Amino acid sequence: MIDWRRVEELREEIGADGFVEVADMFLDEAEQAVRALQSGLSGADLEGQLHFLKGSALNLGLSELAAICQDGERRAAAGQPGPIDVQQVVAVYQTSRTQLLERLATDSAA
């Protein structure tokens, strides 16, 4: 679900404090994107939100979220029939968020 190697690489690149700041910013912006997805976006708006989530997730190591968003983004861009499983995106985001926050709390307590 999370590429912890990528998380550690990013933490090393920008430092522990910078990483916490980036993670907090991602989570705040991702919450907004998830709410937008839940509101029933379609077309370019849906594609745009999925693209944002995919890119941010890749940077932060949230590999499963990135893969799901990439699939949805491709389907939205191609105008493929059938709904994007927004609930799956939301569920994977929430699980990834919880795991990341737990790890951050554990790391900062150490």
Percentage of residues of the chain with pLDDT beyond 70: 97
pLDDT tens column, 45-71: 989 999 999 999 998 999 999 999 999
Q: Where are the domains of the chain?
A: 4-109
Residue 16 pLDDT: 86
Contact (Cβ atoms closer than 8 angstroms) between residue 54 and residue 34: no
pLDDT tens column, 19-47: 989 999 999 999 999 999 999 888 889 89
Single-letter residue type at 12: E
Contact (Cβ atoms closer than 8 angstroms) between residue 80 and residue 22: no
Q: Which helix or strand (DSSP H or E) is residue 11 part of?
A: helix 4-38
CA dist 61 and 6 (Å) reads 5
Top CATH class of 4-109 equals mainly alpha
Residue 102 pLDDT: 92
pLDDT tens column, 79-88: 875 678 889 9
